[in-house]
Structure 1
Amino acid sequence: MPYFLIIALQGFCIYHAFKNNREYYWYFLIVLLPVIGCIIYLVTQVFNKRDLDVVQKEIVSVVNPTKKVNDLKKQVEFADTFQNRVFLGDALYEIKDYNSGIGEYEIALNGKYKSDSGVVKKLLEGYYQTSQFDKVIFCAEQINEKIDFKGSRSQFLYGLALGKQGRNEEAKENLKPIDQRYSNYEERYILAQFLINQGKIMDGKEILSEIILESQHMSKPNRHKYRRVVNDVKKLIESV
């Protein structure tokens, strides 16, 4: 098998294993036995779980991550519709090109879909990732009456943006709904940091203690997935 195909195959298998929180031994098998290890992984972990077409698309996205973007740009040139702009914005976000993605969403919202809350949420995410906190707040205040806003990531980013603007009490009120048991570990860790920095030591430590307790009942895949944040939680609670 040509060398570059082996590298591409390894890249896909490692990407798939990471994305799906596979056990560590798969990484060793893929790296140490490139061809055989990849074949075993594909047969046992991929082909019995996904259609071949989906697998092929994922391989292409690993080898050439901009192909999807280029294909969608051609689709927009052919038919400049709201949905095609949104698909292109999504693809740009996938490769972390937030500024370009924001541009596509802004164009999509120029027409009759300007109040589409789903796209407003995507814009809010992009504005946060590019540190445009005033625009995060503007977007959030367009959709904060929606039923699905409370406790969502959008509200959480809104709270963080308010904190960046020094509006700490408002920030706290919008960060707290993310504190939901057995979920949102990264966000709850950030919330605990925020509370501790605001002098709410006991409130912050209470959240950290809950995360540590919950981590003891995690499934094996979740222990692997959240290992880093749980370790950060333990370090923080020991330091305050």
Structure 2
Amino acid sequence: MYYYIIVALQVLCFYHCYKNNKEYYWYFIIFFIPLVGCIIYLITQVVNKKDVSIISEEITTIINPTKKIKDLETAVKFSDTFQNKINLADAYSEIKEYNNAILYYEKALDSGFKNDPYTLNKLIKCYYKVGNFDKVIAYSQKINLEKEFQESIYFYGLALEKKAYFKEAEIQLKKLDIRYSNYNERLELSKFLIRRNKNAAAKEVLKEMLQEIKSMSKQNAKRYKAVFMEAEKVTNEL
């Protein structure tokens, strides 16, 4: 059976090779290294080359993240456009170099896109990560978080707490208390309520979360296992 599968795969590759006028050396690779040769041919010649390029780029980024940064820095030097600066800032943000990310996001805003909401939203996370809570609050108030950037309400709420705007912080964090979603954010809401000596309200949030995760499929419950365990721990400590 295995033999016939290999032969069928070879025939398929030979046919594709012939139909698309591929180089002759592919015939030798497919014939003399049957399985491996066919796999190499399919990946490099049949699979969408754009997809292969993307996968290759992602692997290179994982192995050598600084290469992507250097390439994007070169792009900015060659063409100092808004998009090139955003791409470089995004790359810095991906590797958690938030100060550098902030630098290029701000430069992008200065190039005629002062109130671009998507850039401002990215800055909210970066400024939170470096502990600049004043900037988090200022930029959060410039865009409609509820309409387009709900994930940033989390950073906004916690930044408000850091600056002692407790009432407003609670209002913002409670916007994330949506059933069957936002488990990490709701866990943080419960901890915020505990810090504000509102244990009964915190228990209610935790109780709902635990019940929801218990009623999930095994696959989804496994996904939120860490949140479930932390929620149980916080509940038991109350």
Q: Alpha-carbon deviation of 1:220?
A: 4.2
Asked if the contact 2:145/2:152 (under 8 Å) is kept, the reply is no
Per the alignment, residue 198 of structure 1 pairs with: 196
| 2:227 maps to 1:229 | yes
Counterpart for residue 89 of structure 1: 89
Q: For residues 175 and 210 of structure 2, what CA distance do their matches in structure 1 show?
A: 19
Counterpart position of 1:32: none
5+ residue gaps, structure 1: 1-38
Structure-to-structure mapping, 1:12-91, within 5 angstroms: 51-91=51-91
1:19-53 alpha-carbon deviations (Å, 9 max, x no partner)? xxxxxxxxxxxxxxxxxxxx9xxx9xxx9xx9332
Aligned CA distance change for structure 1 residues 80 and 219 (closer, same or farther; 3 Å): farther
Match of 2:28 in 1: none
Whether contact under 8 Å (2:157, 2:173) holds in the other structure is yes
Deviation, structure 1 residue 56 = 1.5
Counterpart position of 2:12: none
Equivalent residue number for residue 117 of structure 2: 117
Q: Provide the alpha-carbon RMSD of the alignment.
A: 2.1
**Structure 1 equivalent of residue 33 of structure 2:** none
Gap regions ≥5 residues in structure 2: 1-38
Secondary structure, counterpart of 2:84 in structure 1: helix
Once residues 123 and 174 of structure 1 are traced to their aligned partners in structure 2, the CA distance between those partners, rounded to angstroms, is: 18
- For residue 99 of structure 1, give the secondary structure of its aligned residue in structure 2: helix
Structure-2 residue corresponding to 1:208: 206
SS in 2 for 1:147: helix
Question: Residues 68 and 224 of structure 1: is their aligned pair in 2 closer, same or farther, counting only changes over 3 Å?
Answer: farther
Task: Name the TM-score, length of structure 2 as normaliser.
Answer: 0.75
Assess, with a 3 A threshold, how the Cα gap between structure 1 residues 90 and 145 changes in structure 2: closer, same or farther.
closer
